Structure 1
Amino acid sequence: AYYRAAARAGRLRLNEEPVRDLDIVLKNNDFLRNTVHRHEPPVTAQPIQILVENDEVVVVDKPSSLPVHPCGRFRHNTVIFILGKEHDLKELHTIHRLDRMTSGVLMFAKTAEVSKRLDEQVRERQLEKEYVCRVVGEFPEHEVVCEEPILVVSYKVGVCRVDPKGKCCKTIFQRLSYNGKTSVVKCLPRTGRTHQIRVHLQYLGHPIVNDPIYNMEAWGPERGRGGKIDKTDEELLKALVEEHRSKQSLDILGISEEDLNSNAENKDSGNSSDCPESARADPVREDCPAKDTKEPEPDTKDLLRNDIAACPLNSDTNLETLEKNKDLSLCENRDGQTGEKSSGEKDPLCVECKISRRDPSPKELVMYLHALRYKGAEFEYCSKMPEWALEDWEE
């Protein structure tokens, strides 16, 4: 449906000529282009601080809310893009990742050789990681070890839970301070599963204070403590989405109304043939889990199991009008070449253009989980303790 609309609006071009017939068969060396624009979710304005830069590595202190690399709805608002644009650091190799909402020490290799060497250390578990977080309630004073297995519930929303069928995990926790309401806890993950620290803290009954997934009412009165959820996976996801929808904070999950609408349309019609896998705009999950995470079963009834569908239109209404009106239908620069639209102009094919949202506060874009230290065979990199982790800090 989207591509029919794009063709009628003159945006789909074959060898720089507008495509009128979608049944045309491509030949060798044909050049097909479709012009789109994106609405990126808001991120913090906090700058990326470079901790170390030498011939081999770049080590930064990543702010919360920024994904490491382009994925999902994020392109420009990513660590990789910002380092390239603001610091002219190009062709960096990702060694490890941090969740989008997690801040702290993040390493990049400058060459493939260095990347390979460090990858081997990661695989052989020679890399020690130390995190710090602020959790709900009085965490036990003694060392706590959690080895509950973790299963991915949804790649689209990025939700995991403790489950016997999950991957084996191990996290060691040690309380650093308690202020009468919340505790600062040091976390030493011995494995690297998706959301491992956050899920284990939720299971222990001490979720991260402002965790936008694992400290929500959607998990029930106990908020998932001890693995008690009393909901199916589908019910849980629906409840999480509705809770964020009511707070106008879907962007925090990295999803949009368009994602939800296109999934609902497919379900209502009982036929998703207009939106085949190949037509999905971004078949990469926002959170980009590690490869060792278990794939969900194909028949899981997850209302968000499809990634962003490229089908924003219900019908072909007004498409002929759009075709005639170049100001609306074509994203043209002054030289007539297809390109970006001018700032503030709305795109008639875009659902997001029709939606007005409030800006989140800086506080909403920060989660109290920070990668404090990374240590390998021949290096150790640390960042400063975040303000919220200081003993005398108050909300």
Structure 2
Amino acid sequence: MAEPGPGTGRAREEEPDPAGKEEAAPAPKKRRLAGGERYVPPPRKLNPGVSFGAEHFAETSYYFEGGLRKVRPYYFDFRTYCKGRWVGRSLLHVFGTEFRAQPLSYYRAAARAGRLRLNEEPVSDLDIVLKNNDFLRNTVHRHEPPVTAQPIRILAEDEEVVVVDKPSSLPVHPCGRFRHNTVIFILGKEHGLRELHTLHRLDRMTSGVLMFAKTAAVSKRIDEQVRQRQLEKEYVCRVVGEFPEHEVVCEEPILVVSYKVGVCRVDAKGKPCQTLFQRLSYNGSSSVVRCLPRTGRTHQIRVHLQFLGHPILNDPIYNMEAWGPDRGKGGRIGKTDEELLKALVEEHRSKQSLEILGIGEEDLNSAGESKDCGNSGDCTKSDPVNGSSCPAEDERDLERNDVAACPLNTDTNLEPPDKDKELRVCGSQDGQAGEKGWEEKDPLCVECRTSRRDPSPKELVMFLHALRYKGADFEYCSSMPEWAMEDWQE
């Protein structure tokens, strides 16, 4: 059973009884266990819409360095119920086949350190066989990739909505390797804006207008406009070469190649979509283009521009040599999906820029990926990077990943972790970090022993910006980014 996805709205409450009082459910009685038999509790009732609160924000803190917003490493609990396919398998086998971001030696060491728990009891033997409703908890030392230090600017706020200008490189909500370095967490921690409902999403590398509802009723009302395609979206981007002066309409269907790495391509088997493009200016080497997506597919604007032979100038996925000499123009790739993904990863690895994809070197050690990870809640394969870089954030029905008892998977249940004090703090006793972040390191943490270069602030900006969102009774705009000015030169 998969836990529910991360919620940004108010947690649901139980209905009161007619007398206005709530009765606590009687605790289940434990039956007498046979010798050597293990008690498995019934599944706990989990709130599907848990809000982020002070206990979540207090997990760690930010610091700024070299134009980047960084998160001090912190301890975090990943929790999951036993999947149906795990029943009857040993915990060691599950770790070895599905959660291969870490070697088995790590999980053995984690068990010895008391960081692995089964039904809230420390796991001493990884050969233990899993049963239905078993509840796993894994405490990990978590490192988040840096994002740009550019602040989130609030464009509008009233009793119904909050509208912000999202910087590039920030995911909207916790996913994959990101938790505190997300729009939701920063708004909560630095602006006191909590219990927000996402109305739409932007890709992590896309900047611009991002709307949140303050109540479920407002969210439902605007969501209906989204579903009925009454919401007008306008983007601006800078692309390679001289884009045609006349209006261009692209209706090529788009297929997701990898949810986890975040790669799509044009394919006849993909979902239908439509984007209108209009050139705004040309500076002799690159063009500023107005984009009007009529649908909201994964990476729709970026994939369509690549197909047209005018990829976004600094797109870290769709303007790479891995796509071949034509950079994917006209859908000409000349590689299988597996070869394409491998080539993209290798190109970023050679440039020491895997973090731009939202993945790290250790993420590439895990097993293969199921393309159909949508809302099934129980994928048939583990994903290749044990986390999502949120490729489909511009879609209303963002795919949901399984939670895993693994250091790099998606956050789901967000109840406060119940850990010993020494696992609540990483660093000096007063909670302050040195110049380079936390001075103390976790002995089990691979990230603590890994040296990697930081991306430059320039690498974290992609030239795609959500300029305007207009609905039946609202319209919100941001200013034109500097790189979209007519006389801009790289």
Does the TM-score normalized on the shorter chain lie above 0.5? yes
TM-aligned CA distance change 1:108 to 1:256, over 3 Å: same
The count of corresponding residues between Structure 1 and Structure 2 is: 355
TM-aligned CA distance change 1:203 to 1:306, over 3 Å: farther
**Structure-2 residue corresponding to 1:361:** 456
Whole-angstrom CA distance in 2 between matches of 1:253 and 1:200? 20
Offset of residue 394 of structure 1 = 1.2
Aligned with residue 287 of structure 1, among 381, 384, 390? 390
Offset of residue 393 of structure 1 = 1.1
Structure 2 gap ranges (5+): 1-103, 370-378, 409-417, 428-437
Whole-angstrom CA distance in 2 between matches of 1:141 and 1:384? 23
TM-aligned CA distance change 1:337 to 1:27, over 3 Å: farther
**Structure-2 residue corresponding to 1:259:** 363
**Structure-2 residue corresponding to 1:310:** 406
Is residue 390 of structure 1 aligned with residue 485 of structure 2?
yes
The one-character-per-residue Cα deviations of 1:77-107 (angstroms, maximum 9, x if unpaired) are 0000000000000010000000000000000
Paired-residue identity, %: 78
Whole-angstrom CA distance in 2 between matches of 1:16 and 1:339? 18
TM-aligned CA distance change 1:166 to 1:5, over 3 Å: same
TM-aligned CA distance change 1:156 to 1:13, over 3 Å: closer
TM-aligned CA distance change 1:281 to 1:217, over 3 Å: closer
Aligned with residue 148 of structure 1, among 249, 252, 259? 252
The one-character-per-residue Cα deviations of 1:339-360 (angstroms, maximum 9, x if unpaired) are 2322232323222222211111
Deviates more, 1:39-48 or 1:278-287: 278-287
Equivalent AA in structure 2 for residue 338 of structure 1: L
Confirm or deny: 8 A CA contact 1:145 1:172 kept in the other structure: yes
Deviates more, 1:251-260 or 1:35-44: 35-44
* Structure 2 counterparts to residues 241-260 of structure 1, below 5 A: 241-260=345-364
TM-aligned CA distance change 1:95 to 1:170, over 3 Å: same
**Structure-1 residue corresponding to 2:342:** 238
**Structure-1 residue corresponding to 2:215:** 111
TM-aligned CA distance change 1:26 to 1:166, over 3 Å: closer
Is residue 54 of structure 1 aligned with residue 139 of structure 2?
no
Offset of residue 114 of structure 1 = 0.2
Whole-angstrom CA distance in 2 between matches of 1:193 and 1:66? 19
Offset of residue 174 of structure 1 = 0.3
* Structure 2 counterparts to residues 1-395 of structure 1, below 5 A: 1=104, 2-13=106-117, 18-22=122-126, 23=128, 33-263=137-367, 285-287=388-390, 289=392, 290=395, 310=406, 336-342=421-427, 343-395=438-490
TM-aligned CA distance change 1:154 to 1:380, over 3 Å: same
Structure 1 gap ranges (5+): 267-275, 296-304, 313-331
DSSP-derived class of the 1:174 partner = strand
**Structure-2 residue corresponding to 1:270:** none
Offset of residue 14 of structure 1 = 6.5
DSSP-derived class of the 1:37 partner = strand
Confirm or deny: 8 A CA contact 1:279 1:309 kept in the other structure: no
Offset of residue 130 of structure 1 = 0.3
Confirm or deny: 8 A CA contact 2:197 2:219 kept in the other structure: yes
Deviates more, 1:280-289 or 1:352-361: 280-289
Equivalent AA in structure 2 for residue 198 of structure 1: R
Equivalent AA in structure 2 for residue 350 of structure 1: C
TM-aligned CA distance change 1:20 to 1:48, over 3 Å: same
**Structure-1 residue corresponding to 2:74:** none
Which structure features the higher share of helix residues? 1
**Structure-2 residue corresponding to 1:299:** none
Confirm or deny: 8 A CA contact 2:306 2:318 kept in the other structure: yes
Confirm or deny: 8 A CA contact 2:367 2:384 kept in the other structure: no
Whole-angstrom CA distance in 2 between matches of 1:375 and 1:134? 22
DSSP-derived class of the 1:251 partner = helix
Deviates more, 1:39-48 or 1:11-20: 11-20
Whole-angstrom CA distance in 1 between matches of 2:165 and 2:343? 33
Equivalent AA in structure 2 for residue 134 of structure 1: R
RMSD: 3.1
DSSP-derived class of the 2:156 partner = strand
Whole-angstrom CA distance in 1 between matches of 2:341 and 2:327? 14
Offset of residue 218 of structure 1 = 0.3
Whole-angstrom CA distance in 2 between matches of 1:294 and 1:116? 19
Offset of residue 310 of structure 1 = 3.4
TM-score normalised to structure 2 length = 0.67
TM-aligned CA distance change 1:258 to 1:284, over 3 Å: closer
Whole-angstrom CA distance in 2 between matches of 1:230 and 1:27? 45
DSSP-derived class of the 1:35 partner = strand
Equivalent AA in structure 1 for residue 426 of structure 2: K
Whole-angstrom CA distance in 2 between matches of 1:202 and 1:258? 30
Whole-angstrom CA distance in 2 between matches of 1:20 and 1:255? 31
DSSP-derived class of the 1:226 partner = helix
Offset of residue 25 of structure 1 = 7.8
